[in-house]
Structure 1
Amino acid sequence: MVGVWETGESSASISPALRRANDAQRELEPPPIADEEGNGTVWTLVACSVNKFGKNPCVGWRPLLKRDVEGKFEKLTLGNYEWWTYSELGESVAALASALPAAKGDALLIYAETQRDWLVTALACFRMGIIVVTAYATLGEEGVTTSLAQTGAVVCVCDAKLLKILSGAQQLPSSLKYVVTIGDAPAAEFPSCETTTIAKLQEMGKQAPKEAADVDPSDVALIMYTSGTTGVPKGVVVKQSSLVSMTISVKNHLPYFKPDDVHCAYLPLAHIMELMIELWFLHIGASMGYGSPQTLTDTGVKLQTGCRGDTPLLRPTAMIFAPAVLDKVYAAVMRKVQSSAVKAFLFGLALKAGEKRFEKGLNGAGVFWNVLLMKKIQALIGGRLRYAACGSAPLAPAIQIFVQTCFNCPVRQGYGCTETCGVSTLGTMQDSDPGQVGPPTPVTYIRLRDWEDGGYLNADLQNPNIGRRRGEVLIGGPATCEGYYVDKWRPDPAIAKKNKEDFMVVDGIRYFCTGDIGEVDKFGRLRIVDRKKDLFKGATGEYVALTKVEAALKLSKFVEIPMVYGKTGEKGVVALICPQMPAIQDLKASVGLKDMPYGPDLVQRPEIVKAVSDALKKQCKQSGLLAFETPMAFVLVVAPDGSPALTPENGLLTSTLKVKRPMVAKAFQAELDACYASVTA
């Protein structure tokens, strides 16, 4: 299932379309109005599974021990997961759908963390033709009110612990008529809105059930606000048919998943990746257990003393990771094994065995090393994982090999974006080659457009030193969105301009222009090699790919999050580093600062900066970076209390832990300027 080039309209600057090989001879059908079971909307797709897999476990969750409105004392109980069957999920959705205070075509905003009732609310809306608007749980007052005002949402379904933020908004839009709480009854005041809870609405719905609305596949299902690494989030308008087509596409691309598979759902449902994975699992009749990043393992900070983590109890067979999560797994495991010379030696042998097996397309380090060492790591996430996927940002090849060796299962990268319903390409189970994100999924068309300024061209195919087409990745097909939402009452000219610039039609197919730079190898697999906005051109005219340098820095034990920065007119780049606290703590004694507490003063001490800088330059060299790609200087930053300086909560990371470059550069401009000054001093 690799990709092949199709004949069709192209030009010297835009490639032919790339499609999955076994679909390449089939003409693109209109956006699907029916799948193999005759379903054409999200709800009818799910309803089919409710009827087909009625007695199967569907969604699981863990009860809370206690919870206040700010979430400070939220803990999980000692108990195991509780489960609904597919039939029980269907009943719950039907009850809520029957009582939602909104009509077909109205907008409803979900402002909550990933959990069972987030999914139930979304499915109830899809059933009744109500448009789901998403907002990240990390958004503050301004972000939430902007989403409400722009879309004219009449209902806000809000997590109880986020009510304080919603009620603190200076002025809620007049369109908002109802605030519905997930969990406890509203304690906050909303003078202009009626308030109730999900549970109360479901009781009302059971007393007066309604049939599902007549929803058309061309109706808008979702306005999903992007996480926004470069500016104000934009609302992506997605049709019912787009969600359906991608759900079926993933099912066909990964046919080896069955109803007995279990997914650990913990990434933001307000992000397209998690939403599509959950729709896919519902479609195949598998089960999903909800967790959170703070409770995944036994060391989770929101676990009651003695309580097990989500994954040891759930024992998932499939998990989806953001690269930043796997970077942390790598750092934590390496730090633990390096605490002992014997452990480090044995683990090094196991990794070498894993690398050799990886080169042969095999998983793990072999039976001996798996029993001796790796099973302990696998037990941290339940010991049953048989597939892991990674998306939202590039995963360093070294990390991919490391995780596949430790987890003893395929680790595959996928690629896509909100504008294309997420899973546009995905590595297949049989293909472990690192650095690639797989062939297109069945409904996806990929084209490459020349980016002359960056030196990436389709003509590179004829260059004997390159031998591959290269250019900006364009993604088309029925899963491509309708564009960005424009407020009809207060249209934003910048958004209207983006709709014209970021989308185009080629050979009758609508494409989204991603801004990512890709190349297609001889097997028809896509590789993401750069991004237009992540290139720095130095004073000598040489380009530095910032993400490439960051991938190298992530391999250092001293680095939790790196951001490489290039200042216009300077000859090279510098790097801002959020350090790994345990590694800095271990370093203190060796530089004569044993008694100094961890915090900004410590990480800015010249002894620490020099030792870390030397280690990072060595890491860059080991990773094969050239001299002009290696940062000239480094600055270490932590928050005043010693906590990480970059988090989703302070707006410097997206909810999927990607760095918001412009915001970080602005917040730490003085430190970055001083970093450059240290080079010329």
Structure 2
Amino acid sequence: MPGSFPEGETAVHRSPLAVAKGLTTCAPPDVCTVYGAFKHRLALDPDQLTMGQRSVLRAGDAAQKLKPVLGDYEWLTYRQINEITTELGAGLAKLIEDMKEDGIRRVVIYAPTSRQWTLCMLACYSQGMQVVTAYDTLGDDGLAHALSETEAQLVFAKADQLPTLQRVLPRCTGKVRAVVYYADEGVDMPVAAQAALEQIQITTLDMESALRMGRAYPRDPSPAATGSDTALVMYTSGSTGAPRGVRVAHGGVLAVCGAIEQLVPDIIDRSSDRVLSYLPLSHVLAFFVEVFCLYAGLAIGYGNPRTLADDGELIGDLRALRPAVMLGVPQVWAAMRANILRQVERRPLPIRWLFHAAVEAKTWLAEWRLPTGWLDAVVFRKTRAATGGKLKIAITGGARISAPMQKFIAAAVCPMIHGYGLTEASGLVAVQLPGDTSLANVGPPVPSVEIKLKDVPGAGYFASNQQGEICVRGPSVFQGYLDGGDSCVDDDGWLHTGDVGQWVEGGRLAVIDRIKNLIKMATGEYVALEALESAYMASAHVAYICVVADASMRRPCALVSLAEYAADATVDVVLAGLLEAGRAAGLPPPHMLAHIRIDPEPWTAENGLLTAASKLRRAAIHKRNEQPLKDMFDIMSQRGERMDG
């Protein structure tokens, strides 16, 4: 935007849509609460189908290496959802009312992404309750922290989570007095869950019993909330320290939905297109997309990361649902790319050459807006069919994706756009516009926020170079942390994100670093750990990579978790692939890896090496690999690549 601005800051940027109209504050027509978003579509299309979930014909059993068998998607109408959530809301309200507790009514949803998760969320909002999100992989300490700090009165959980609850509840200092749980229909209650249920010392009842209670003690919906009221206490995934509860307002979420409504492309058919929901609804990315779909009438089909692809007799969620829109984080796309390349590498050399040439050709044609359908039909037919054959757009977020990865998925699967957001901004700050084929950026600001960049002098980022810390202001900025501690919002309403950005061509924002992960090396040069990891993730061997650097090193090293199919790869082979990915990304010599070590244990949220949002827990990874790290450091010291003193 033109005009003067303070020294050390760039001009403030807005979406062109927000320049004339002002920042978007809600979804049209004046929908400012999550429950209001649902009621808006209910009034327009009560018989529209949404919230499809697959029936479980046979449960899986990891111990016996028995894979699940799932049926077709079964759908609910908005009218049916309204009936269920009204009854469930009445039942939950009765339970909390019987506790005779004063103050804010909060319900912790401690469950994986599912139809039941969203039904509970809407039920809570129908009676003016706040929702507390807790990842189903949060672990004992994180769950105990969330239950105690929020003083929630009720927990809604899947039966699988009952053993964790049984261990954690006695440690809590909060007010939890009841647990409502659900299990997969047609499947026996897990033995461990049944045992835990018998030991939990507070009121427990299944979801069907809560519905019956709502029918026995009916009450009309009483949402009460306004746009300025707190909708969520959403716990960040906690890559360092205890997770913090972020207070997100109804109006913040609906400002984001209103922004998306202005950006939704004409290629989306709301009457027939489906959106696959499998990312954690406890993460803000999945949550705001879910709310937008309910508002817009887009059919949501629930899946699971473990059942996305076909596997033996299992027809994967992608082929069963045939979605038009799919969200993912970089690790999802990396796994998809690795699976495609594994199939390609089994083909004769001329076919492999043709495939890779077609990726380049399609990228060039798309950039010049030239037809690419013939390549889809001839070369990419099988890769597109594996995702159901109807994908129109892939949206990536949660972390930065490398340009080679984005280019590959856009060519082999469907067009991909990159977005950027954070919990403290209700999920979305900037996103590429549909049809934008540029790489290595997250597009312009969305209409609900304005953005400026501010100097980070210690790391050499200056607004005069159109670089600096990303600062965000607008109605979607959060209300503060539940613990009341230091906020990252200044007196003028600017949210200081801790991310470093750069303005690039066309008013687009590129996220280039994270301040806390900037490391000054022995050469005096800064390296950005996340930026390097994004580049090296383009290697097909890698599931995750944790780059290690400090002031004693001339070059970084890394710990690596291998992709499943590459489990037998040697260190030399993996390092060669990583260096090739680094060269392809244009990394300078000081940023090329000196050494790596391979961790034989997969990195997961369950074993504490990843957050529930699939981000690295660096301290936990380092601790687990103390000896391999020491071995690398010793070798680097011997070779003059590391200075111990």
1:518 equivalent in structure 2: 501
Contact 1:80-1:313 within 8 A present in 2 as well: yes
Alignment of 1:37-76 (within 5 A): 37-67=29-59, 76=68
Distance 1:403 1:39 in 2: 35
Residue type at the aligned position of 2:520:
K
Contact 1:78-1:306 within 8 A present in 2 as well: no
1:492 equivalent in structure 2: none
Contact 2:335-2:563 within 8 A present in 1 as well: no
Q: CA deviation at 1:672?
A: 1.6
Query: Equivalent of 2:611, from 654, 660, 663?
Result: 654
Secondary structure of the equivalent of 2:72? coil
1:271 equivalent in structure 2: 283
1:17 corresponds to 2:25: no
Distance 1:118 1:615 in 2: 41
Distance 1:561 1:575 in 2: 10
Secondary structure of the equivalent of 2:379? helix
Contact 1:516-1:528 within 8 A present in 2 as well: yes
Q: CA deviation at 1:362?
A: 5.7
Cα pair distance change 1:216/1:483, threshold 3 Å: same
Q: CA deviation at 1:352?
A: 2.3
Distance 2:354 2:396 in 1: 28
Aligned Cα root-mean-square deviation (Å): 2.2
1:575 equivalent in structure 2: 558
Cα pair distance change 1:555/1:273, threshold 3 Å: same
1:561 equivalent in structure 2: 544
Contact 1:7-1:17 within 8 A present in 2 as well: no
1:416 equivalent in structure 2: 421
Structure 1, residues 355-391: CA drift from partner, whole Å, max 9, x if none? 222332568xx33332223111111111000111000
Contact 2:520-2:550 within 8 A present in 1 as well: no
Cα pair distance change 1:71/1:670, threshold 3 Å: closer
State, as a whole percentage, how many aligned pairs show the same letter: 29
Distance 1:354 1:665 in 2: 41
1:441 equivalent in structure 2: 446
- TM-score, scaled to structure 1: 0.86
Cα pair distance change 1:263/1:164, threshold 3 Å: same
Contact 2:57-2:71 within 8 A present in 1 as well: no
1:627 equivalent in structure 2: 589
1:168 equivalent in structure 2: 167
Contact 1:65-1:74 within 8 A present in 2 as well: no
Residue type at the aligned position of 2:80:
E
1:636 equivalent in structure 2: 598
Structure 1, residues 5-33: CA drift from partner, whole Å, max 9, x if none? 2657x41123332110121133447x55x
Cα pair distance change 1:125/1:69, threshold 3 Å: farther
Distance 1:58 1:445 in 2: 33
Contact 1:6-1:18 within 8 A present in 2 as well: no
Q: CA deviation at 1:171?
A: 2.5
Contact 2:147-2:174 within 8 A present in 1 as well: no
Cα pair distance change 1:514/1:377, threshold 3 Å: same
Once the two structures are overlaid, the 10-residue window that deviates more, 669-678 or 141-150, is 669-678
1:251 equivalent in structure 2: 261
1:504 equivalent in structure 2: 490
Cα pair distance change 1:313/1:627, threshold 3 Å: same
Q: CA deviation at 1:573?
A: 1.1
Count of residues in correspondence between the two structures: 617
Distance 1:584 1:236 in 2: 38
Secondary structure of the equivalent of 2:377? helix
Cα pair distance change 1:633/1:174, threshold 3 Å: closer
Distance 1:330 1:176 in 2: 44
Distance 2:430 2:321 in 1: 28
1:680 equivalent in structure 2: 637
Structure 1 unaligned segments of length 5 or more: list them: 300-304, 461-468, 487-494, 588-607
- TM-score, scaled to structure 2: 0.91
Secondary structure of the equivalent of 1:63? strand
Q: CA deviation at 1:436?
A: 1.0
Cα pair distance change 1:74/1:477, threshold 3 Å: farther
Cα pair distance change 1:40/1:613, threshold 3 Å: closer
Query: Equivalent of 1:83, from 45, 70, 75?
Result: 75
Contact 2:259-2:446 within 8 A present in 1 as well: yes
Cα pair distance change 1:191/1:55, threshold 3 Å: closer
Structure 2 unaligned segments of length 5 or more: list them: 98-102, 639-645
1:356 corresponds to 2:343: no
1:613 equivalent in structure 2: 575
Distance 1:6 1:77 in 2: 59
Structure 1, residues 180-211: CA drift from partner, whole Å, max 9, x if none? 10227773235541111121111222343312
Contact 1:63-1:76 within 8 A present in 2 as well: no
Distance 2:309 2:574 in 1: 30
Contact 1:331-1:557 within 8 A present in 2 as well: yes
Alignment of 1:480-495 (within 5 A): 480-486=477-483
Distance 1:511 1:679 in 2: 43
Residue type at the aligned position of 1:568:
A
